[in-house]
């Protein structure tokens, strides 16, 4: 996998007629994000939750853009319930499957951009990219530059929508996360807004 600039990514996408896909990860435990709400003066609402120790939901999300097409959001969830031999995070095969799913839905070549997370550099993913180079290019975003990834904006929208929302267990939390992400999927202006917030532009070809 090569590490090249965003400008090179856009040039490659234009040459391939590809979607530029930005991937990132987030996680959410049973303790909900804090947020503001309305209440009577002197009667602040209190919601008691289990908090730490109850497991968590990991999310891998990818926002996809191509001039002339509506933007798309795809994601994968992993529920960790603190059971024996249960995976705590995504494997390289999970990321491979997310790439395959994205390619299947878009029916187009992909320019896949993500950070330098160790699992992203797994030999299995490098081999997969080489075997499928006819429709896939993988590039690394600059180090320490999360502001260049529009999926960070997706996570901000997700956290905001879940503020003060308590789930009884990890499975309930996963259902809430899916429901909130589906709402974002059907609002392309929100996905476009996350790209705009990075300062990046994808010009018409």
Is 163 within the bounds of a domain? yes
- What gap in Å lies between CA 170 and CA 13, rounded to an integer? 38
Is 38 within the bounds of a domain? no
The mean pLDDT value for 6-19 works out to 73
Order of strands across the sheet that contains 110-114 = 72-80, 56-65, 19-29, 110-114, 136-140
Name the 3-class secondary structure at 57. Answer: strand
Q: What is the DSSP string of 160-180?
A: HHTTT---SSHHHHHHHHHHH
Q: Is the dihedral of CA 187, 191, 197, 202 positive or negative?
A: negative
Query: Pick the residue with more confidence: 81 or 100?
Result: 100
Query: Pick the residue with more confidence: 31 or 74?
Result: 74
CATH number for position 131: 3.30.420.10
pLDDT(51) > 70: no
- What gap in Å lies between CA 42 and CA 146, rounded to an integer? 40
Q: Which domain does 56 fall in, by range?
A: 6-32+49-198
Is 168 within the bounds of a domain? yes
DSSP β-ladder status, 56-65 and 72-80: antiparallel
Is 39 within the bounds of a domain? no
Q: What is the mean pLDDT of the chain?
A: 87
Number of domains in the chain: 1
Residue range 144-156, pLDDT digits in tens:
788 999 999 999 9
Is 176 within the bounds of a domain? yes
pLDDT(2) > 50: no
Is 130 within the bounds of a domain? yes
Is 60 within the bounds of a domain? yes
Burial (Cβ within 10 Å: 0-12, 13-18, ≥19) of residue 77: middle
- What gap in Å lies between CA 104 and CA 163, rounded to an integer? 33
In whole angstroms, how far apart are CA 10 and each of 61, 128, 141, 204? 20, 22, 12, 11
Contacts of residue 139, Cβ cutoff 8 Å, sequence gap at least 6: 1, 2, 3, 4, 8, 9, 12, 111, 112, 113
pLDDT(175) > 60: yes
Work out the pLDDT band at 36, boundaries 50, 70, 90.
low
Residue range 127-143, pLDDT digits in tens:
999 999 999 999 999 88
Is 146 within the bounds of a domain? yes
pLDDT(84) > 50: yes
Query: Pick the residue with more confidence: 75 or 39?
Result: 75
Extract the tokens encoding 90: 């995504």
Which run of H or E residues covers position 185? helix 170-185
């Amino acid at each position: 996998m090569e590490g090249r600039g965003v400008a090179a990514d856009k040039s490659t996408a234009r040459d391939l007629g590809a979607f530029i896909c930005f991937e990132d990860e987030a996680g959410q435990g049973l303790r909900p994000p804090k947020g503001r709400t309305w209440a009577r003066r002197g009667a602040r609402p209190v919601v008691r939750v289990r908090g730490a120790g109850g497991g968590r939901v990991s999310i891998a999300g990818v926002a996809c853009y191509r001039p002339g097409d509506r933007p798309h959001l795809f994601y994968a969830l992993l529920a960790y319930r603190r059971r024996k031999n249960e995976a705590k995070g995504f494997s390289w095969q999970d990321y491979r499957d997310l790439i395959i799913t994205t390619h299947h839905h878009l029916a187009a070549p992909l320019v896949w951009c993500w950070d330098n997370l160790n699992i992203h550099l797994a030999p299995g993913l490098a081999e997969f990219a080489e075997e499928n180079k006819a429709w896939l290019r993988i590039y690394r975003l600059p180090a320490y530059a999360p502001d260049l990834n529009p999926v960070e904006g997706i996570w901000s929208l997700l956290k905001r929508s879940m503020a003060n929302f308590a789930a009884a267990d990890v499975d309930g939390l996963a259902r809430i996360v899916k429901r909130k992400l589906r709402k974002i999927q059907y609002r392309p202006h929100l996905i476009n807004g996350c790209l705009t917030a990075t300062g990046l532009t994808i010009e018409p070809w």
